[in-house]
Amino acid sequence: MSLSFHTADLSLRAPQAIIFDTDNTLYAYGHPHAQATAAAEEKAVRLLGCQVDDVRRAFAQARQEVKQRLGRTASSHSRLLYFQRGIELLGRKTQLVITLDLEQTYWRTFLAHCELFPGVRELLMTLRNRGIGTAIITDLTSQIQFRKIIYFGLDDCFDYVVTSEEAGADKPQEAPFQLAIDKLGIDPAQIWMIGDDPASDIAGARRFGITTLLRVDRARNGNGRDVAPDLEFDDFEELNRYLFSGKVEGWARQ
C-alpha cells in the first residue's frame, strides 16, 4: 500500500499548519522500546539480585497498576513510576537510586536505537520553507518528549509542542488538541493531523474538523477501526512527493 483515500471524491486543500504525533509516527517505537526494556531488566537483575522472570512480572504488574490508577494522563506512561512500583513489588521497598538508574538506562538505550522514518526531515524542511505552521501533540511527560525531539535534531522544525503533561490529558481527549490549536492560532479547518493511531490521533482530531492523515504499518488499534482517516500512507517520501505534485489544491509542484 502507498497512498489511500477513504473518500473517493476527496480533494485535499493545502493547510496553514500540520500537527504531528511523535511515537510510531515520526519513528518506529517497537525496536528501541524492546532494547531499552531489555537493558533495564538486565540492570535490575544485577542490582536487585532477582531472577529475570521475576523482574519482568513485577514490572508488567507495576505498569498495569500505574495505568489503572492514573488513567489517560502523562504520568501513566512514566517509566520512573513503573520501576519504582516494580521494585516495591519485588519486596525491596522504595529504592530511589536504583529507580532513577533504571529510568536513565531505559531512556538512554531507547534514544540510542531510535531512527527517523525516511522522508520525515525532508517533509518538515519543505513545510518550513513554504511557511506552513507545524506542531506536535504527543502523550507522555514533557522532559522525555523534548529529549526525543532534540535527539532527532528536529527542535527547530516545529513551531509548537504540546505534551499530555502540559495539556493535562492524553489523546484523544480534547485538551491537547485545543491547546495546540490555540497556540497555532489557526482555524482547525485549515489544519492537518498526521498520526499513527486511529483511536487517539484520528478520532481526537476529527472532533475539531481537522483533516486527518494516518501513517500505517502496524496492526490497527481495535478501538479505532471505525474511525477512518481522510488519507492513509506508509511512506513519508511518497507522501512528500504527492503533496507537492500539484494534486493538492493550493500547493504548486516542487
d(CA 89, CA 72): 23
For the annotated catalytic residues, the residue numbers are: 21, 23
Q: Label residue 101 exposed, middle or buried (CB < 10 Å: 0-12, 13-18, 19+).
A: middle
Vertex 13: Cα angle to 9 and 19 (nearest 5): 115
Q: b/e per residue, 142-181, with b = 16+ CB within 10 A? A: eebbeebbebbebeebbebbbbbbebebbbbbebbbebbb
How far is the first Cα of the chain from the last one, in angstroms, to the nearest whole number? 24
Cα-only R_g, the chain:
20
Tell me if 155 sits within 8 A of 176, measured CB to CB.
no
